[in-house]
Amino acid sequence: MSGDPAAAGALVLAGVSIASRDGRNLVDRLDLTVLPGMVATVMGPSGIGKSTLLAYVAGFIDRRAFAAEGQVMIGHERIDAQPAEARHVGILFQDPVLFPHLSVAGNLLFGLPRGRWRSRAERRGKVSEALEQAGLAGFEDRDPATLSGGQKARVSLLRTLLAEPRALLLDEPFGKLDAALRADIRAFVFAHARERGLPALLVTHDAEDAEAAGGPVVALAGPGVRLPSG
Amino acid sequence: MLLRLAPAATLAVLAGPVVLGLAFTLLPAFGFLPALGGATFSLDGWRMLFAAPGFASALALTFGTGLATTLLALILAAGLCAAAAHRPGMARLRRLIMPLLASPPSGVALGFAFLAMPSGWLVRLLSPWATGWQVPPAEPVTVGDPLGASLVAALLLKEVPYLALMLFAASATVPVERLTAAARALGRGQATAWATVVFPQLYRQVRLPVFAVLAFSMSVVDVAIIVGPGNPPPLAVLATRWFKGYDLALYYPAAAAATLQFLLVVLAILLWLACERPIAALHRRWLARGSRSRAPGAAAEVAGALAGLLIVLGLLSLLAMLVWSFAGSWRFPAALPDHWQLALWRDEAGGAAALAGTSAGIGLAAVAIALVLTLACLENEQRHGLHPGVAVLWLIYLPLIVPQIAFLFGVQVLLIHAGLDGTPAAVVWAHLVFVLPFVFLSLADAYRALDPRYAMTAAAMGAGRWRVFLVVKLPLLARPILVAAAVGFAVSIAQYLPTLFAGAGRVATLTTEAVTLSSGGDRRILGLVAVLQTALPLAAYGLALAVPFLVFRRFRGMA
């Protein structure tokens, strides 16, 4: 990687501070650059404000509960003032959050940009291709409630990626998976992020996740304290 | 942008008619009614009211039946919930109270009247083998008794299921099982544990519904016309008679009576609040003493059994009207008709269909507007991260706590001024005032409880707010939205006074017809009307449950 990291579509946080309205400093002037294809990790125990940081980046922060400021950029574009739907920042939660009223294909079609694939056949084709590559060929018409935990996690990632995000936010997405599945899904998610050259920001309280991510690690240690490391 | 106006529009729909209506009821009470030439301050209306024969009894009746109904309804509903908390059989009762929740109070009252009257079903079931009666006894007077006992009983058939439903809903927010387990570990019986530990926490949450029951029981008109004492009647019936009469001079005492009705309800609520504190203090002292008395448990058991009996009576009331609508000749003391017939349903089909059509049309229109306003308010709330407080809840309950009679006359005065009285739009609007609170209250919790991550995930994939609303939230909330619509529809079907006043007596619905026929009409036609009164809301509930089930039957996660 050479030259201006921003030009290559890095996710850049500059001077991001978040405080809860009851006066606790959760994040204090955080600077972080996540290069495309890299997975950066924010670590810390639960309740420390990790998810709140992701909510700020994605555009969901509850302004009545938190005061937040600082720049968020993708490449040279500043996105922190844009509404969530205009940011094109994909997010994965601890649960797969598949829409229970849509089939697997319906879920995947939801985020597929309309401008790029217009015809129904083309859109279905794109979905089938993605399922096949993920080892889920023929799953189009399945009810998401009937999938196994691992299958749900895969569909959830596919759905996010098909929406063509410019960055990926991972809110402890492996936290509820059992140990065997965990390594598997983690590798699946990281591989896809790298393959597509997406900057990814992972929050977790699990050191193993951070190690597997292989990128820079920021530890949020507690109110008002920040320990850069890694 | 339009969404931001939703709370204001909703408030205008709810509070506007109540506040303006109260004002324009208050003015004629003090002599101001320009339309009739009343332009000077006068206390004549009040004088006429106080001098009316039986005024004092009417006052006592209003207070007595209202407070008795509310207190008994709360005790019986609590007993029902206490029993349901540890007996699976009683928990099944929740499904059985559905028809009672759906039917209009007037329909239930008509059925109850037939059950309880001297020539009614209960006496027939016991005659002649147990009572020896070959003809209906003249004494005692059971329906329309001067003390209003039958009025209280008929109201309980509706109010116990309602309060039980509210208590069931509140139970979901309290760790009932852990609390009773803890209390049981300290040596209390199951029912005692519920009554002394769980109920006080639930009570706080059902306080507004209790006030709604209190206001409704004190000021109900249709049920009181059907089973209440006639001479003197409760105050609200007296006021309605005067308003409906052709003697315009009686408008002034009627307005005074309606105003007094409002004051009585306020007074009763204050009285109730004043009693809460000492009772709570006694309860705390009792708990602190560590008493292991079994009395609260025993009382809860008795209340639960009585409530069960009441529900059976209520269901029998509904059944009675169905039987009557198919009855040919039915002599006393036969327990069932001697002949059955379908002729009535055939002959009356046209008229009944017209009444049902009008009722359903008004109901659907009111529900549609109520749903749009409710969804707009809730969506606006989520987009701007608002957390409405207790004051908003009181405002929503306002039309349910201010007696109908106290503001509907004023509303009619305004409608006449605007040249809108008697129009379908006016009737729909008057219904909306009562439909909207119920639709809002039954949908709000589900809407607020929807996992926000669905909307976040959708937005992160580039879906705008309207697409998230239409493609994600609406389908996921299809069931609670349709159930709220069914609740609103049932409320609309039940409305008597709003139809009467806003419709200027020219709009006939199933409920207005049922009340009109109740005095001396053909019992079989009455049965038919009452059956339709219950059938329409029940069909709405059925659709509300069936449609999402069919549409989403492929998806287990939607079950």
Q: What is the identity of the amino acid at A88?
A: H
Distance to chain B for A161, nearest Cα, Å: 9
Binned at pLDDT 50, 70 and 90, residue A1 comes out as very low
Residue of B nearest to A85 (CA): B462
Comparing alpha-carbon positions, the chain A residue that sits nearest to B387 is A64
Which chain B residues are within 8 Å of A58, Cβ to Cβ?
Answer: 456, 460
Q: How far is A90 from chain B (nearest CA, A)?
A: 5
The C-alpha of B370 sits at a distance from chain A's nearest C-alpha, in angstroms, of: 25
Least CB-CB distance to B555: which of A100, A110, A113? A100
Residue written as token pair 């949908």: B443
CA distance B320 to B108: 10
CA B309 vs CA B156, B157, B164, B305, B315: distances in Å:
12, 10, 14, 6, 10
Residues whose CB falls within 8 Å of the CB of residue B37, separated by 6 or more in sequence, listed in order: none
Map tokens 């994965």 to a residue. Answer: A92
**Looking at the complex, does the CB of residue A143 fall below 8 Å from at least one CB of chain B?**
yes
Contact assessment for residue B217 and residue B66, using Cβ atoms and an 8 Å cutoff: yes
Q: How many CB contacts within 8 angstroms connect chain A with chain B? A: 85
Summarised one tens digit per residue, pLDDT across range A31-72 is 999 999 999 999 988 778 889 999 999 999 988 889 999 999
Question: How far does B75 lie from chain A, in Å, by closest CA?
Answer: 41
Q: Which of B487, B492, B525 is nearest to B509 (CA)?
A: B492
The span from the CA of B500 to the CA of B427, in Å, is: 9
Q: Do A163 and B558 count as a contact with CB atoms less than 8 A apart?
A: no
How close, in Å, is residue B262 to chain A by CA atoms? 40
| B506 CB-contact burial (10 Å; exposed 0-12 / middle 13-18 / buried 19+) | exposed
- Which residues, in sequence order, are bridge partners of residue A197? none
- A77-78 vs A66-74, strand pairing mode: antiparallel
Chain-chain contact of B451 with A97 (C-beta, under 8 angstroms): yes
For an interface test with A, give the residue of B381, B457, B554 to mutate (most A CBs within 10 A): B457
* B290: helix, strand or coil: coil
Q: Is A151 on the interface with B (CB under 8 A)?
A: no
Distance from CA of B117 to the nearest CA of A (A): 52
pLDDT, residue A5, reads 58
Q: Which residue of B has its CA nearest to A102?
A: B555
Cβ of B464 and A85 within 8 Å? Answer: yes
Preferred mutation among B461, B554, B555 to probe A, highest tally of A CBs within 10 A? B461
Query: Is 0.85 exceeded by the ipTM?
Result: yes
Helix (H) or strand (E) holding B248: none
Do residue B463 and residue A85 have CB atoms under 8 angstroms apart? yes
A138, pLDDT greater than 50: yes
Q: List the 91-120 stretch of A: residues with Cβ below 8 A of B.
A: 91, 93, 95, 97-103, 110-111, 113
The reply to whether residue A160 touches residue B461, judged by beta carbons under 8 angstroms, is yes
Q: Which residues of B touch A (CB under 8 A)?
A: 385, 387, 451-454, 456-465, 471-472, 475-476, 478, 552, 554-558
Tokens of B233: 């009647």
- A123 assigned to some structural domain: no
Q: A89 is in which domain, residue-wise?
A: 6-98+147-229
Q: Match 């003390």 to its residue by tokens.
A: B147
- Separation between Cα atoms, residue A40 and residue B57, nearest integer Å: 80
Residues B113 and B426: their CA atoms lie apart, in Å, by 32
Q: How confident is the model at residue A6 (pLDDT cuts 50, 70, 90)?
A: low
Minimum CA–CA partner of B464 in chain A: A85
CA-to-CA dists, residue B145 to A219, B119, B142, B219, angstroms: 77, 15, 6, 18
Query: What gap in Å lies between CA B128 and CA B337, rounded to an integer?
Result: 16
- pLDDT in single tens digits along all 559 residues of chain B: 678 899 999 999 989 999 999 999 999 999 998 777 888 899 999 999 999 999 999 999 999 999 999 999 999 999 999 888 877 776 677 788 889 999 999 999 999 999 998 888 988 888 888 888 888 887 777 888 999 999 999 999 999 999 999 998 898 888 888 888 888 888 777 888 888 888 999 999 999 999 999 999 999 999 999 999 988 999 999 999 999 887 888 999 999 999 999 999 999 999 999 999 999 998 888 888 877 778 888 888 899 999 999 999 999 999 999 999 999 888 888 889 999 999 889 998 899 999 999 999 999 999 999 999 999 999 999 988 888 888 888 899 999 999 999 999 999 889 988 999 899 999 999 999 999 999 999 999 999 999 999 999 999 999 999 999 999 999 999 999 999 999 999 999 999 999 999 998 899 999 999 999 998 778 899 999 999 999 999 999 999 999 999 999 999 988 7
Residues of B in contact with A101 (CB under 8 A): 475-476, 478, 552, 555, 557-558
Confidence of residue A92 (pLDDT cuts 50, 70, 90): very high
Which secondary structure element, helix H or strand E, spans residue B8, and what is its range? Answer: helix B6-29
| DSSP H helices in chain A | 50-58, 84-87, 104-111, 120-133, 149-162, 179-195, 207-213
Residue A157 belongs to a domain with what CATH number? 3.40.50.300
Judge residue B354's burial from the number of C-beta atoms within 10 Å of its C-beta, 0-12 exposed, 13-18 middle, 19 or more buried: exposed
Domain residue extents for chain B: 2-14+58-558
3-state DSSP call for residue A168?
strand
* CA A77/CA A167 separation, integer angstroms: 12
Which residues in chain A have their CB less than 8 angstroms from residue B552's CB?
101
Mutation site, A79, A110, A147, A170, interface B, largest B CB count within 10 A: A110
Nearest residue in A to B556, CA atom? A145
> Best of A64, A85, A152 to disrupt the B interface by mutation (most B CBs within 10 Å)?
A85
Interface of A with B in 178-207 (CB under 8 A): none
- Indicate whether A104 belongs to any domain: no
| H or E stretch covering B506 | none
State residue B1's pLDDT score. 62
Domain B2-14+58-558 of CATH type 2.40.50.140: no
**Smallest Cβ distance to A110: which of B461, B478, B555?**
B461
Number of domains in chain A: 1
CA nearest neighbour of B388 among B80, B2, B16, B6: B6
Nearest Cα residue to B211 out of B199, B203, B222? B203
Q: Do A143 and B556 touch (CB under 8 A)?
A: yes
Is residue A225's pLDDT more than 80?
no
Residue A221: pLDDT band by 50, 70, 90 thresholds?
A: low
Would you call A163 and B460 a contact, using CB atoms and an 8 Å cutoff?
yes
* Contact list, B462 vs chain A (CB under 8 Å): 85-86, 88, 111, 113, 163
The answer to whether A85 contacts B557, with C-beta atoms less than 8 Å apart, is no
